Structure 1
Amino acid sequence: MERILKHNKAIVIIIFLITIFFLFQIPKVQINNDIEVFLPDTHPAKVSNEEMKDIFGESDGIVAALKVDRGTILEPENLKYLKELTAGIEKISYVDDVTSLTNADFIEGTPDGMIVDDLVKDLPQNDSDKYAIKEKILSWDMYKNNLYSSDFKSTEILIKLKKGLSNDDKDAAYYQIKNLTDQYKSKGFETYISGSTAINVLMGDNMLQDVKFLIPFIVAVLIIALYLFFNNILAVVLILLTVSISSIWAVGLMAALGISLTLVSTVIPVLLIAVGSAYGIHILSHYYDYISEHPGELTPEDQQKIVYRTVNRLGKAVFLAALTTVAGFGSLASSEIIPIKTFGIFTAIGIAAAFLVALFLIPSLLIIIYAYRHDKLKDKYQAQDHFNKMINKLHEFYAGRRIGIIVTALVIIIFSLMGFSKIVVDTPLIEMFKENTEIRQADDFINQNFSGTNIMKVMVSGQKSGDLNNPAVLAAMDKLEKHLNSKFPEVGKATSISDYIKRMNQVMHYPAVESDSASQNTALSSEQDEIEDNSSSFYQGTAENSSSDDGSIADQSSSFYSDSSSTSAEDSGSDYDLDHSSSFYQEDDSSAGEQSNNSGQLELIPGPDREKELSEYDFISLLNSAFIRAENLNLTTDEMLALLKQELNYKAAAYYEIPTDLNKYNAASPQNLKNLISQYLLLYSGNVDDFINDQLEPDKAQILIQLNDPSNLTAAKVREDISNYTAANFPANYQVEVSGNATMALEANNLIVSSQTRSIVISFIIVFLLVAISFRSLLAGIYGIIPLAFSLIINFGLMGHLGIKLDVGTAMVASIAIGIGVDYTIHFLQTYYTERQEEEDLFIVTKKTLASTGKAIVFNAISVAAGFLVLLFSNFYPLVYLGFLIAVTMFTSSLASLTILPLLLNLFKPKFISK
C-alpha cells in the first residue's frame, strides 16, 4: 500500500476525473416504473402481453372520472361540459382514442336494419330528451359501471394513448389531460385521474421528490452523526466526499448504460451514503486512535507512517467487509425481478467504489492535507471516547449473564418464527402510494364507483381465419364473463366481442312495425318501461349512429328476416329481403332449399301483448316463470327485471344472446349460424379492434377483465379460475392465454418469494465461504453467519407480526441486512483474533476488541440506521418499510455481533481464533 499511496496526488486526480465523467452522465438517466420492467423479456407473461398489444393495441391508458355536484350526469349542462371536455382531450396530440357518454357507440335496431351512432348525438333540451338518453344508456349492459355509476352522479372518460410514446410523452399527455380536466372543477365537477399511465407518471414524479428531499436529509443526518463521533470537521468532509463519489459513480454508470431508474433504484444513493460511510468510519476511527496515542509532536513523516499503519492494519478487514457486502448486494443479481436485479448490481458497484475511494482517496488526502497544513492541524487530534463508557457497560453487563443472554435470544427467535406464517406477499403498484396522495384517492374512487382500473386480458385463439365467428366459442366466452361476474365481486366487468354480437343479434330481431310505433312514444313513458341490468364497455371506439332504441317484438318478423313474397323491401323499409337474409344461413347455393320449412322465413318469438290484461294469477305465473329461469335465487331488482323481459321478449330481449340454437334460428347447421355472425360483423360500422384481430374473419379474440381490487392475491384467484373454467368448458382446438398488467404484476409478485429465497441462500453461502477462507476454517464460516441469521429471523418475524407485506421493497431487506451486517461480524472477528494473539485472558481480549472495533461498530450501526430511518419520510410505503426494517436489522445484527458472537467465542473457544 505504501507504494501506491506515495502517488497520492495522482490518485486524487484520477478519482476526480472519473467522478466528473460520471457526473455529466447523470442528466441522461430515465425513469420507468411500468410493470413490464419488473419482468425479464423472456418471461411468458411479458411475451404474451406484448403479443396481445401487437394484435389488439394498448388496452391500458388513462381513466378520468368525473363526479357532478348538481343533479346527475344527464343534466343538459353537465353533458355539455362533458362533450366539451371529450373534444378537448381528443385534440391532445398524444391521444389515440377517447370514449365517453357523449361519443360512445350505440347499436340500434330500426325498420331499416342496424345502425351505429353516438350514444348522445344531441344534447337534451328538456326532461323527455334526458329520459330518452337514459333509456338508450340502460338498454345495453355495456355501459354500466364504466360510462355511468349506479347513482348517475359520476361518469368516466376512457383515454387510449398512441403507440410508441416515450416516457416523456406519457408525462406530457398525463399533465395535459389533468390540466384540462382541472379546468372543469369550477363548473361543478370533481375530477379523478388514474390508470396505469397515470400511476407510472406520478410514481416517477414522487421518486424525484424523494431524491430531492431524502438525499439532503440523509446527508444532514450523517453530518450530525459524524461530527458527534469524531468532533472533527475534516473527518466529516472526507467521509461525505467518499460516499458522494461512490453515489455519483453508481448512478452515472446506470445513465451511461441506459439503465432506467425505478422505484427500487431510488434507494441506491441513500443506501450508498448510509452504508458507504462505514469504510471511512473504520479507517478514520483507527487513524485518530493512533494519532491520540502518538507521543510528542506529530511531524508529517510520523503522520504518514500512521496512515500507512492504519491502512495495513485495517486493509484486510475492510477489504473482506467490502467483499462480503458486495457479495450480499450482488446476490440480488440472481433475482428475476429486473428492478431488484438492477438495484443489486449497481449497489454492489457503488459499494466497491466506496471501498476503493475510502481506501485510496482518504489516506491520500490525509497525507496531502497534513503535509500542507500540519501546523494548524497538530493540535486538533484528541482521543474521542464518546462510546467507551457505553461499550464497557455493555461488556460488564453480559460478561456475567451468559445463560440469561442465550435464553433471551432463544425466546426472541421463537417469537419471531411465530410471525413467519403471517407474512403476506403482495405488490400492487397503487398501494405503494400513501392513502392521502391524489392518485391513491383517485384510484380508490374509481374502484368503488366503476368497474376498476386493474386490467387482466384473456386471449382466445383459433387455428384458422374465421374461427372466432364460431357461435360455440363465443357462447363459451360469454358464459365465462357471466361466471366471473357472479363468482368474484372483485371483477367489475368482463367484456368481449360476444357482448357486441349479442347486441347485434337483439337489434336485428326488432320487428319493423314495433320500431315504427315505438318511435311515437314519449321518452318519459319509455323511461318508466325501460330499467335494465346493464354494463359498459371500457374499450369502445367511436362511430356514427343515430336513432333511439325503442319498440318491442310482435308476431311479425323483422325486416332482417322478411319474406319477399309477403313483405317487399319498399313496404318494410328494409334493405334485407328474403334473398339477403336467407344467405346468412347458407353454406352454399345447393343447401338453400334445406334451411327451413317456411321458405327461409325466420319465425320470431312474439313480444308482449299491448292489449292483454293480466289477472293476479297470470301476473304471479309470469313472475314465477321468470324466476325459474334464474341461475341463482339471490336476485337484484335489475336481474329480475331482465328475466321478465326475456320471458316476454320485450324489445327482443330473448335474442340478447349468442345464436347457438339451430331450431330457434331456423338454421340447417352450425355453419349457418357462423355465417350469421360473419354478417353481423360485416354490418357493424364501429370499432372492435380491441376485441378481435380482424373485422370480418377473426381467429383471435380478447376478453378484457376489469378488477376493482389491485391486490395480486385477487388476481391470482381470478386467473386460476379462468384456467380451470376454460379447460373444462371451451371447445377443443382453441387456445387460451391470460395476460395484462394484472397478470404481470402477479408474476412479479410470485417471483419475489423465489428471488428472496435464492438471494438469501446465495448471500449466506458467499459470506460463509469468505469468512471460512479468511480464517481457514469452516467453523469460522458458521460463526460468521450466526449474527446475520439472528437479525433476519427477527426481521421476518416483525414483518409478520406488524402486517408488513413482502413486496418489491421489503424483499431487498434480507440481502441488504446481510451485506451490511456482515461487516460488523468480520470486523469483530478480525480484531478479536488480533487481540487473542497477544492476550490469554478472554475477558481482556473481549474488552479491548469492544473498545476499538466495538466502538466503530456501534457508531457505524447508528449512522446507517439513522440514514435509513430517513426513508420513513418517503412518498412510498415499500421504502418506508425498507427504511424501518433496515434500521431494525442494523440494531439487531450489531447487537448480536457485540454480544452473542463474543459470548460464543468465549464459551466454546474455537481453534480458528485461538492463540
Structure 2
Amino acid sequence: AASWVDRCLHGWAKLIVHRRQRVLWIVLLLVVVCGGVTAARLVIRNNTLDLIRKDSPVFQKYLAYMEEFDVRDEIVVVLKSDRLKDSRDAANALAVKLKQEKGLDRVYYRHDFSPMSDRLLLLADEERLIGIRRQMEELATLVKGNKQALNLNGILGEASAKFNDPYLRKSSNWQEFIPFIEEFVRNLKRLAKDLETPANAVEKKGLGELSEFEADLLKNEYLSLGEDGRTILMLLRPTKEEQKSATPFTGVIQRVRKVVQETQVEFPKVAIGVTGEPVLLDDELRQSESDMKIATLITLTLITIMFFFAYGEISRPLLALVALLASVVVTLGITSVTIGHLNIISQAFIVMLLGLGIDFGIQILGRYEEEMGRGKSSADSVEITLTTTGKALLTGGGTTAAAFYAMCFNDFTGLTELGWIAGSGVVMALVASLSILPALLLWRDRNGAKINLGKLRLDRGAMWDRKLTSHPYLVLAVAAGITLIAWKQCQKVSFDHNLLHLQNPKMESVRLTRELLNMGDGSLIYGVIMADSVEQADDLAIQLRALPTVSKVRTLGDLVPRDQKKRMEEVSRIARVSGEITLGSGGESSVDVPKAKKDLEFLLESSQEGAKQAKQYLGLSGRARQAVATFEKLIPPLERAVAALDKLSLEEAKQRLARHQVKLVGSITQNLGWLKTQRGDRPLTVDDLPAELRQRYLSSHGKVLLEVVPAVDVWERKPNEEFVAEMQKIAPGATGTPVMNLEYIDLLMKSYIQASFYAAGVILLLIFLLFRNLKDLVLTLLPLGLGVLWLFGALGLFHIQLDPANIVTMPMILGIGVAYGVYVMDRYREEGGVRIFASSTGKAVVLSALTTLFGFGSMLFGQYRGLVSLGMVMSLGVIFNLISALVVLPQILALQDKRGGEEEEDPGPAD
C-alpha cells in the first residue's frame, strides 16, 4: 500500500500538471512581493555584538561597561614618521579636520595639561623631585657670586678655576666640588655630542633630572607608542547615530579615510593609516561582500557552462536556475520579515544556496529527461519524477534543511540566524524544485517536445556501472587503506582561534593591527575593569602591573598620586631655590673657540693628572678613591670634546659651540622660569586633570576605568586564556574585547558541535522513516561516515586548520553527505540493482556535486581568508562524500547483489 508521502506527492503532481499556469502566477506574485520587502527592509550588520545573545552573562558585563562609560568602538588613526616633530605636526593638522566631521563626537590624541600647568611637577616621583632640587642647588652654587658670565666660556672658566691644587687640597671644597662635577659631567657629555653632530641638527635638552621629567611629560602629551614616541594614535569615537545605523561606522570610516588621504598628501614623510575594531569589522564585511559577488558570478557562469555541455542545450537547465533564483528571493523576503538583517556569517547563505539548491533541480531535471526519453509525455514524466525522485528529494532536502535548522537551538545568535535563513533557503529551493521547475518544464514542453533516449547516453552509463563494480574487493581494500591513513592523520587536526587570520593580511587595517601588536604595548584590544574609586583603581593597577601577561595599565591613578605630602614639600623647596637664582644674559654672546679649546685641554690634562696622583693613595685614603672616581667620570667626555674640536675648522667649531651654548643657557633660563611657577600648596585632584582624560576614565557615576594592555598576543588562544584568567583572578568583573573574543569562539565551537549532534539525530530519523530498514540506514550513512573521516584526514595531512569560519561547514557536510547516500540507495531500491549511471541518478549526483563545488570552490578566488578556508573545507567535503557515495557504496551493493543471487541459485539440500 502506498504511504501517505506517496499519496501526497501523487496529489501534488496532479495539481502541478493541471494548474501549472496558476502556480506560476502565484510564484511570480510572491517573488515580486518578497523582492520589494527585501529591498525595503533587509540590511547587513557588521557588528560582532549582534552575534551573541544579549542575555549572556559575559555580554551583560561588557554592556554594563559600555553604558557606564558611554563606550563606542573607536576608529584608530596611526601616524608614523622618522621624526617626532613630523608625526605631531601631521596629527595636529589631521585633528583640526577630523573635529569638523559630524559623524565623530570625540577626537582623542593629545592631553591638554595647561589647566594644571602650575602643578605638573607634582606628577614627578619623590626620587626625581629630590634630584631636581639638588640640581637647582648645584646651579645656584655654579652661579653664586656671578664670577663668570653664564655662557659656555664662563662655565668652562669657572670649572678651570676649581681645578687647581690649593682649591682641591681643602677638604671643605670637595663638598662643593662633587655636586658641581655631577652637573658639569652631564653638560660635558652634551657638549661632546654637539661637537660630534653637524650644526644643522638641532636637539633640545634641559637640566638632568628635570630634562628627563620634561621628556616624559612631552611624550605623554600625545598618545604615542614606543620609546621614541614617533608613532602616534588618534582615537575617534563615532556618534550614537552612526552606532545605531544598520551598518555601523561604514559611512564615517569612509569619510575619515578621505580626510586621512588628503592629510597624507600634505605630510608625505608621515605614514598615516586607519584601523581599530570597527574598521577591521567593516573591512571584513566589505571584503566578504566583494568576494561573494565574484563568487556568485563565477558560480552562475560555471553552472551555465556545465549545463550546456551536460544537457546539450541550455533552456531546460536555465529553468532550474530560474526556479532556484526564485527560491533565493523568497528566502530573502522571509529573512526580511522574520529577522530583518544578514550578519557577517549569514550573508554567505546565497552562495551556499546556489551550490546546494541547484542539486534538487538537477535531480528533477535528470529524471524528467529520462522519462521523456522513454517516450512518456511531459505530464506523465512530471508525475513519475515527482512521485519517485521527489520522495528522495524530500529526504535529501529534509536532511540538509534539518542540518541547518539544528543550528537554531543554541546560544550563539549569529549561528541561530544562519541556521534559520539557510534552512529556510533549502526548504524554499526544495519547494521550488517540486513546484516551479515542473510547472516551467510543462510550459516549455507544452507542444509535445521529445527527447532521444540515446542522447542521454544511459547505455554508456550501464557500461560505467559494470566497470565501476568489476573489482569490488580491490576498491574496498583501497578505501580501507585510505580510511586507516585518514584515521591517523585526523588526530593532527587543530583549531585556529586567531580571528585576524580570517582577514586579508594585505588590508591596511589588518597590517597596522599586526604592526602595533609587535610594538609590545600597542595592542588595540585590551581588558577593562571598573573600580569604585581612584584609590581602588590604583590598588588594582599595582597588582595588574605585576602580572607577566600585562604590558601596562592606563588609569587616572597615574596622574593623581596617592600620597602627595612629601611631593608637595619638595616642589615648594624647588620653587623657592629656583626663585633665588638670578641669571644674566649670556646665551646670545659669541663663543671664543680658542679659549674654549684651551680650557677643555686644560681640564683634560688636569683630570688625567689628578687621577694619576690620586691612584697613588688609593689604599691610604677614602678621599683618594673619591677623587679617582670623579676624575674618571670627567676624562671620557673631555677626550671626546677635544678630539672633535681637533677635527673641525674654526668656522664649523664656532657654529657647533654656539648651538650648544644657546641650548644650554636657553634651556636653563626656560627651566628656571617654569620651576618658579610650580606650586605645592595643595595636592593634585581628579578635577585638575585634562578633560579628555576625565571623560575617558571617569564615569558620571564616579566609576573609574582601568584599561589593561596585554603583553602577549591575545589574538592567539592560549595567551588570551592566560591573560583573561590572570586579569579576572584579580578583578572577577573584568571584561573587554579579549574576554568577548574568548566567549565568542567558545560559544561558536560549542554551538556548532551541538548543532552537528542535533542534525545527526534528525538525519537518522528521516532516513529511517524513508527506508524503514536498519541495514539500508547503515548503508545510506556509510558514504557520509567515510567522507567526513577522509575530510579530517586530509585536513591533518595538509595542515589545514579548522577556524571560526570553516567550522560552519560541518552541519552542511552532514546534510550533503547523507543526500548523496539517499539518492544512490533510493535508486538502488527502485531498480533492484546497481544502476547508478545506467539511470539519471549517477549523472544527476555528479552534476549536483559539481554545482556545489562551483558554489564553494568559487570562494577560493576571494581575498577574505575566512571565506577561502570555508570554501576549501567544504569543497574537500563534497569531493570525499561524492567518491564514497558513487565509488565505495556501489561496491558493497554489488557484493550484496552477488551474494543474494548465489543464494537464489542454490536450491538447498534435497529431501
Fold-level similarity (TM above 0.5): yes
Q: CA deviation at 1:614?
A: 6.3
What is the alpha-carbon distance in structure 2 between the residues aligned to residue 862 and residue 688 of structure 1? Answer: 59
Which region of structure 1 is more displaced relative to structure 2, 766-775 or 797-806?
A: 797-806
Superposed displacement of residue 829, structure 1:
1.0
Alpha-carbon distance between aligned partners in 2 of 1:212 and 1:456, rounded to the nearest angstrom: 35
Cα distance change, pair 112–832 in 1 and its aligned pair in 2 (3 A): closer
TM normalised by structure 1 equals 0.72
Residue among 728, 733, 743 paired with 1:737: 733
Instruction: Return the alpha-carbon distance in structure 2 between the equivalents of residues 898 and 207 of structure 1.
Output: 34
Whole-angstrom distance in 2 between the partners of 1:322 and 1:49: 40
User: Amino acid of the residue matched to residue 745 of structure 1?
Assistant: N
d(CA) in 2 for partners of 1:793 and 1:503?
A: 62
From 48, 62, 85, give the equivalent of 1:74: 85
CA distance in structure 2 between the aligned counterparts of 1:406 and 1:820, rounded to whole angstroms: 22
> 1:884–1:699: structure 2 CA closer, same or farther, 3 Å change rule?
closer
1:448 aligns with 2:509: no
Q: Distance in 2 between matches of 1:410 and 1:798?
A: 15
In structure 1, C-alpha distance between the alignment counterparts of 2:455 and 2:562, rounded to whole Å: 83
1:747 matched to 2:743? The reply is yes
Partner of 2:728: 723
Q: Distance in 2 between matches of 1:394 and 1:130?
A: 89
Q: Secondary structure at the match of 1:191?
A: strand
Partner of 1:202: 283
Amino acid paired to 1:95: L
Report % sequence identity: 16
Shift of 1:406: 3.3
**Counterpart residue number, 1:21:** 33
Q: Which moved more, 1:225-234 or 1:125-134?
A: 125-134
Is the aligned partner of 1:481 residue 2:545? yes
1:694–1:263 CA distance, 2 compared to 1 (3 A): closer
Q: Which residue of 2 aligns with 1:329?
A: 404
Give the secondary structure class of the aligned counterpart of 2:55: coil
Counterpart position of 1:418: 488
Task: Write out per-residue CA displacement over residues 336-359 of structure 1, whole angstroms, 9 at most, x where no aligned residue.
Answer: 332222112111111111111111
For residues 235-314 of structure 1, the aligned pairs below 5 Å read 235-294=316-375, 302-314=377-389
Cα separation, 1, equivalents of 2:709 and 2:222 = 13
Residue 471 of structure 2 is aligned to residue 400 of structure 1: yes
Residues 848-887 of structure 1: CA deviation (Å, up to 9, x unaligned): 5664322211221122112211011223112111112211
- 1:98 is paired with a residue whose SS is strand
Aligned to 2:8: none
2:433 to 355, 358, 370: 358
Count of residues in Structure 1 that have an aligned counterpart in Structure 2 = 720
Cα distance change, pair 388–72 in 1 and its aligned pair in 2 (3 A): farther
Aligned mates of 1:428, 1:13 — CA distance in 2: 50
Deviation at 1:772, TM superposition (A): 1.1
What is the distance in 2 between the residues matched to 1:481 and 1:386?
76
* Residue 877 of structure 1: aligned partner: 865
> Does residue 511 of the first structure (1) align with residue 576 of the second (2)?
no
Q: Which amino acid in structure 2 is aligned with residue 183 of structure 1?
A: E
What is the rounded CA distance, in whole Å, between the counterparts of 2:748 and 2:478 in structure 1?
32
Q: Which moved more, 1:151-160 or 1:887-896?
A: 151-160
Are the structure 2 counterparts of residues 249 and 450 from structure 1 closer, same or farther at C-alpha, using a change threshold of 3 Å?
A: farther
Kept in 2, the 8 Å contact 1:195–1:453? The answer is: no
Deviation at 1:169, TM superposition (A): 5.8
Judging changes above 3 Å, is the alpha-carbon distance between structure 1 residues 476 and 369 closer, same or farther for their aligned structure 2 residues?
A: closer
1:161 aligns with 2:172: no
Q: What's 2:259 paired with?
A: 180
**Counterpart residue number, 2:533:** 468
Residues 694 and 265 (structure 1), Cα distance of their counterparts in 2 relative to 1, 3 Å cut: closer
- CA separation in 2, counterparts of 1:198 and 1:521? 56
Does the 8 A contact of 1:869 with 1:883 survive in 2? yes
What amino acid is aligned across from residue 46 of structure 2 in structure 1?
Answer: N
Q: Is the 8 A contact 2:396 2:823 kept in 1?
A: yes
How far has the Cα of 1:18 moved from its partner? 0.9
Shift of 1:240: 0.9
Corresponding position: 1:759 with 2:734: no
1:791-823: per-residue Cα shift (whole Å, max 9, x none)?
112223333343333222211111111112221
Partner of 1:340: 415
3-state secondary structure, aligned to 1:183:
helix
- For residue 393 of structure 1, report the CA deviation from its aligned partner: 4.0
Q: Deviations over 1:248-281 (max 9, x none)?
A: 1222322333433223223211111111111111
Cα separation, 2, equivalents of 1:905 and 1:712: 46
- Counterpart amino acid of 2:237? K
Distance 2:778 2:885 in 1: 13
Q: Which moved more, 1:347-356 or 1:59-68?
A: 59-68
1:619 and 1:777 mapped to 2: Cα distance?
101
What CA distance in whole angstroms lies between the structure 2 residues aligned with 1:738 and 1:211? 38
Distance 1:615 1:199, change over 3 A: farther
Letter matched to residue 793 of structure 2 = G
> Which one scores higher on RCO, CA 8 angstroms, separation ≥ 6?
2
What amino acid is aligned across from residue 744 of structure 1 in structure 2?
Answer: M
Match of 1:218 among 270, 290, 299: 299
CA displacement, residues 31-86 of structure 1 (integer Å, 9 cap, x when unaligned):
22222122111112211110001112216311111122xx41225xx533321111
Q: 1:855 to 1:315 in 2, by over 3 A?
A: same
1:77-104 CA-partner distances (Å, limit 9, x unpaired): x533321111211221122222224x45
Q: Which runs of structure 2 are paired with 1:3-22 in the superposition (5 Å)?
A: 3-5=14-16, 6-22=18-34
In the superposition, the TM-score normalised over structure 2's length comes to 0.72
Q: Is the 8 A contact 1:871 1:883 kept in 2?
A: yes
Looking at structure 1, the residues matched to 103 and 69 of structure 2 have their Cα atoms a distance apart, in angstroms, of 19
Contact 2:292 2:859 in 1 (8 A): no
Which residue identity lines up with residue 407 of structure 1 in the other structure? A
Deviations 1:657-686 (A, max 9, x none): xxxxxxxx9xxxxxxxxxx99x73344453
Return the match for 1:680 from 680, 685, 697. 685
Q: Does 2:856 match 1:868? A: yes
Higher relative helix content? 2
Distance 1:141 1:337, change over 3 A: farther
Instruction: Determine which of 804, 818, 822 is the counterpart of 2:818.
Output: 822
Aligned to 2:642: none
Question: Is the 1:418–1:797 contact (alpha carbons within 8 Å) kept by the matching residues of 2?
Answer: yes
Please point out which of 298, 309, 320 is paired with 1:228. 309
Q: Deviations for 1:475-528, whole angstroms, at most 9, x for unmatched residues?
A: 242231242xxx23xx55432233233499596565234246679999xxxxxx
Q: What is aligned with 2:593?
A: none
How many angstroms apart in 2 are the aligned matches of 1:750 and 1:869?
Answer: 28
Compared CA separation, residues 158 and 682, structure 1 to 2 (3 A): closer
User: Structure 1 347/514 Cα, relative in aligned 2: closer, same or farther at 3 Å?
Assistant: same
| Counterpart residue number, 1:598 | none
Residue 778 of structure 1 pairs with residue 774 of structure 2: yes
Match runs of 1:87-126 below 5 Å: 87-101=96-110, 103=111, 105=113, 110=118
* Structure 1: distance between partners of 2:630 and 2:487: 67
Paired amino acid for 1:400: H
- CA 1:758–1:909 in structure 2 vs 1: closer, same or farther (change >3 Å)? farther
CA distance in 1, matches of 2:627, 2:715: 51
**What RMSD over aligned residues (CA atoms) do the two structures have, in Å?**
3.8
The amino acid of 1:367's aligned partner reads L
- 1:558-707 aligned at under 5 Å gives the runs 680-684=685-689, 686-689=691-694, 693-694=698-699, 698=702, 701-705=705-709
Give structure 2 stretches of 5+ with no counterpart: 1-11, 125-199, 584-624, 633-670, 672-679, 905-911
How far apart, in 2, do the equivalents of 1:127 and 1:517 lie?
Answer: 30
Could you tell me which of 73, 84, 87 is aligned with 2:93?
Answer: 84
